[in-house]
Amino acid sequence: MKTVFDRPQALADVPLHYCPGCTHGIVHRLVAEVIDELGLQESTVGVAPVGCSVFAYNYFDCDMIQAAHGRAPAVATGVKRTHPELNVFTYQGDGDLAAIGTAETVHAATRGENITVIFINNCIYGMTGGQMAPTTLPGQVTTTSPYGRSRKIQGSPIRVCEMLATLDGVALAARVSVDCPKNVIAAKKAIKKAFQNQIDGKGFSIVEVLSTCPTNWGLSPTDALQWLRDNMMPYYPLGTYKDTEAVKDGE
């Protein structure tokens, strides 16, 4: 009998701890499918963040390192610089990548580190129970912005792809979503490109995935997907913000 659907090799056969309706599972699967399709499982080292995806080291069936909060791009740099032949990716949430790890993100990007960064943006700190993230939208209620995020008090959210697209070291900065099958297919295409870029030595590639957190948003899984479309997409437009050849030495 022909197999039409199976677990990707690069995804370990263990139960995920994610909440019902959380889109981490989809993104894990896409990353694992891409690793399989590009034949990278045996040469991949993944770096897990601190946040909801902290246990990613259990889920990807390849060598994994669990990094300190926000430091995954620096850890990945150490791996890639000592072993350029390895395929190195980080998997980070918005608090990890765009708050505590902003410096590590920006500088890995501007150095043109030849790594792949998967960035989950769900506008909230999930693991600690729904606090304000650097990407929390204006007016969005969280446990630490109980009256809604105020631009006056907490400032405005960060658009990571737009910011990183200004840096010469960035080969790919794309924002995708996993809210519907069509967008899931587009997301996989972007993730595949981000890994292919690494194989081709093009430099820093980041794919920002707009994701849901039904639990901490206080919505059902389907309402959460609609909330993503209605609120996140206008502030964080999908698209490819940078897609270019790596900057050559001396340029």
Quick check: 75 binds other proteins (CB under 8 A)? yes
Q: Report, in Å, the least distance between residue 26 CB and other proteins.
A: 22
CB atoms within 10 A of CB 156: 11
Q: Are strands 44-48 and 116-121 parallel, antiparallel or unpaired?
A: unpaired
Quick check: 41 binds other proteins (CB under 8 A)? yes
- Residues 121/187, Cβ–Cβ less than 8 Å: no
Give the residue with the Cβ less far from other proteins, 65 or 233.
65
Quick check: 9 binds other proteins (CB under 8 A)? no
Quick check: 7 binds other proteins (CB under 8 A)? no
Q: Looking at 21-29, 76-84, 153-161, 235-243, which segment touches other proteins (CB under 8 A)? A: 76-84
Q: How far apart are CA 17 and CA 59, in angstroms?
A: 10
**What amino acid occupies position 108?**
A
Residue 91-120 contact track with other proteins, rule CB under 8 A, x = bound: ------------xx-xx-------------
Q: Tell which one of 35, 79, 160, 187 touches other proteins (CB under 8 A).
A: 79
In sequence order, what are the residues at sequence separation of 6 or more whose Cβ sits closer than 8 angstroms to the Cβ of residue 207? 116, 117, 118, 119, 172, 174, 175, 176, 187, 190, 191, 194
- Residues 54/23, Cβ–Cβ less than 8 Å: no
Q: Report, in Å, the least distance between residue 11 CB and other proteins.
A: 12
- Residues 148/123, Cβ–Cβ less than 8 Å: no
Which residue spans within 94-162 are E strands per DSSP?
116-121
Q: Report, in Å, the least distance between residue 229 CB and other proteins.
A: 34
Give the residue with the Cβ less far from other proteins, 61 or 208.
61
Q: Tell which one of 61, 94, 179, 208 touches other proteins (CB under 8 A).
A: 61
Count, residues near other proteins per rule CB under 8 A: 36
Q: Report, in Å, the least distance between residue 226 CB and other proteins.
A: 33
Alpha helices in 51-155 (DSSP H): 56-59, 72-82, 94-95, 102-110
- Residues 89/103, Cβ–Cβ less than 8 Å: no
Quick check: 43 binds other proteins (CB under 8 A)? yes
Give the residue with the Cβ less far from other proteins, 100 or 186.
100
Q: Which residues bind other proteins (CB under 8 A)?
A: 12, 41-45, 47, 54-55, 57-58, 61-68, 71, 74-83, 85-86, 103-104, 106-107
